Amino acid sequence: MPIRLLPPQLANQIAAGEVVERPASVVKELVENSLDAGATEIRVDIEKGGARRIRIRDNGSGIPKEELTLALSRHATSKISSLDDLEAILSLGFRGEALASISSVSRLRLTSRTAEQEEAWQAFCEGRDMQVMLEPAAHPQGTTVDVEDLFFNTPARRKFLRTEKTEFGHIDEVVRRIALARPDVAVILTHNQQVVRHYPAEAASHQDKRLHQVAGRRFADDAIFLEHEEAPLSLRGWVAPPDACRHQSDIQYMYVNGRMMRDKLLNHAIRQAYGDALPADRQPTFILYLNLPAKDVDVNVHPAKHEVRFHFARQIHDFVLAALKRVLLASMPAEPEAFQH
Ligand code: ADP
Ligand code: MG
């Protein structure tokens, strides 16, 4: 076969393979877009585990009519414009891929209105060339992305969807993670028209209310609050003392500059901080927020942005280890030796 350029839809579908694994990944990308747009209220409506419909509505900045077409194109982003920007990312998004990818594997409609516009507009793609069509619409300031029939045109992917309940469980988990990242933003999650989660916006001084709601009373009551700073690094959050740690690993939330992460290095530091004090059948249990200068962490490691790379990995590891050890040690004065190894 001669070399040729892939048609846009196929190119986007290939990219979608990396970013859009299942309905929950769509929810993650779209809610992150809402947060980047400064939304204070985000509504997530799901039908049939997301396979039938995923609709995210926000009250953020909105997208001007002239930019709607671009928003749906690949490599189009308002969040970075140079390599310098890429090296110090403050937004959750920057790849300019999510909307194009999702719209290539679903029936996507993007409806938006900015504060300056009198009228809202709706955009959607058609055909292999992903031609964008625009129509006037009714919508308050903000954006709604309506994703119907995910993977309808990629049967191989569709086959991998699990039951409605399982897929919704993954969506719920994504919403909980984001709710913990941003207690100041109101989040509502519905499934088949039933409200499943309703997190009202909390003032900065009342963040433990969100903690209660998302992680449960038990964790909130047992957990030790921690706040540790060694400029430019800071770590705050909650950690369960060893005997209150959970048997499951379901409360292990680590945020790096506001982004939920699973990171081997940080997990290692946390595990090590517990040392021998952690009963064999328990898992480290924590919700932690690490902040460091954006230029010291590379978020462009993984298309779905689940991983980061620290420029001063050893220093970060030791900082987290020391911060945790300090509070864990203080929490159990009876057997301090357990922490010494
Ligand atoms: P990225 O988030 O990496 O920039 P996306 O494909 O997710 O790429 O979005 C493309 C662009 O569309 C964004 O850069 C942003 O300008 C705009 N956009 C997407 N979602 C929203 C939203 N909910 N509110 C305002 N603008 C949005
Ligand atoms: Mg995005």
CA–centroid distance, residue 247 to ligand 2 (Å): 35
CA–centroid distance, residue 317 to ligand 2 (Å): 29
Tokens 């310098």 -> residue: 84
Crossing angle (nearest 10°) for helices 23-36 and 164-181: 20
**pLDDT, position 208:** 86
pLDDT in tens, 248-257: 999 999 999 9
- Report the distance separating Cα 192 and Cα 203, nearest Å: 30
Phi (first) and psi of residue 256, to 5 degrees? -115, 115
Query: Residue 322's CB: how many other CB atoms inside 10 A?
Result: 14
**pLDDT, position 336:** 52
Q: How many CA atoms lie within 13 A of 16 on its CB side?
A: 25
Q: Which residues have any ligand 1 atom within 6 Å of their CB? A: 29, 33-34, 37, 58, 60-63, 71, 76-79, 93-100, 143
- In total, the chain counts a number of residues equal to 341
Report domain extents, the chain.
8-199, 217-339
**pLDDT, position 341:** 53
pLDDT in tens, 63-77: 999 999 999 998 889
Average pLDDT, integer, range 100-106? 95
In the chain, the amino acid numbered 166 is T
**pLDDT, position 288:** 97
Per-residue pLDDT band at 122 (split at 50, 70, 90): very high
Cβ 109 vs Cβ 145: under 8 Å:
yes
- Report the distance separating Cα 100 and Cα 74, nearest Å: 5
Per-residue pLDDT band at 43 (split at 50, 70, 90): very high
CA–centroid distance, residue 31 to ligand 2 (Å): 8
- Report the distance separating Cα 223 and Cα 61, nearest Å: 37
**Ligand 1 atom 12, closest CA:** 71
Return the higher-pLDDT residue of 15 and 314.
314
Non-local (6+) Cβ contacts of 311 within 8 A are 295, 296, 297, 298
Output the 3-class SS for the chain: CCCCCCCHHHHHHHHHHHHCCCHHHHHHHHHHHHHHCCCCEEEEEEEHHHCCEEEEEECCCCCCHHHHHHHCCCCCCCCCCCHHHHCCCCCCCCCCCHHHHHHHCCEEEEEEECCCCCCEEEEEEECCCCEEEEEEECCCCEEEEEEECCCCCCHHHHHCCCCHHHHHHHHHHHHHHHHHHCCCCEEEEEECCEEEEEECCCCHHHHHHHHHHHHCHHHHHHCEEEEEEECCEEEEEEECCHHHCECCCCCEEEEECCEEECCHHHHHHHHHHHHHHCCCCCECCEEEEEECCHHHEECCCCCCCCCCEECCHHHHHHHHHHHHHHHHHHHCCCCHHHHCC
Per-residue pLDDT band at 300 (split at 50, 70, 90): confident
Index of the ligand 1 atom closest to the CA of residue 76: 10
Longest Cα pair distance anywhere in the chain, in angstroms?
A: 73
CA–centroid distance, residue 237 to ligand 1 (Å): 29
Nearest-ligand number for the alpha carbon of 123: 1
Average pLDDT, integer, range 195-209? 92
- The answer on pLDDT for 307 being more than 80 is yes
Work out the percent of the chain whose per-residue pLDDT is above 90.
78
Index of the ligand 1 atom closest to the CA of residue 32: 2
Assess: ipTM above 0.95: yes
**pLDDT, position 133:** 94
Non-local (6+) Cβ contacts of 22 within 8 A are 50, 160, 161, 162, 167, 170
- The answer on pLDDT for 332 being more than 90 is no
User: What is the pTM (predicted TM-score) of this model?
Assistant: 0.93
Average pLDDT, integer, range 43-54? 98
Nearest-ligand number for the alpha carbon of 81: 1
Q: From the options 3.40.50.510, 3.30.565.10, 3.90.320.10, 2.40.50.140, give the CATH code of 8-199.
A: 3.30.565.10
Of 34-38, 51-55, 327-331, the poorest mean pLDDT is in: 327-331
Of 82-91, 191-200, 284-293, the poorest mean pLDDT is in: 82-91
pLDDT in tens, 130-142: 889 999 999 999 9
CA–centroid distance, residue 306 to ligand 2 (Å): 14
**Ligand 1 atom 7, closest CA:** 98
Nearest-ligand number for the alpha carbon of 113: 1
- Report the distance separating Cα 232 and Cα 244, nearest Å: 31
Return the higher-pLDDT residue of 8 and 312.
312
CA–centroid distance, residue 133 to ligand 1 (Å): 18
CA–centroid distance, residue 96 to ligand 2 (Å): 6
The preferred substitution site among 32, 65, 66, 77 for testing ligand 1, maximizing ligand atoms within 8 Å of CB, is 77
Q: Is domain 217-339 classified as CATH 3.30.230.10?
A: yes
Nearest-ligand number for the alpha carbon of 69: 1
Task: Please state, rounded to an integer, the average pLDDT across all residues of the chain.
Answer: 93
Distances (CA, A) of 138 to 54, 112, 252: 19, 9, 41
The preferred substitution site among 33, 61, 89 for testing ligand 1, maximizing ligand atoms within 8 Å of CB, is 33
Per-residue pLDDT band at 149 (split at 50, 70, 90): very high
- The answer on pLDDT for 340 being more than 70 is no
- The answer on pLDDT for 269 being more than 90 is yes
- The answer on pLDDT for 117 being more than 90 is yes
Per-residue pLDDT band at 270 (split at 50, 70, 90): very high
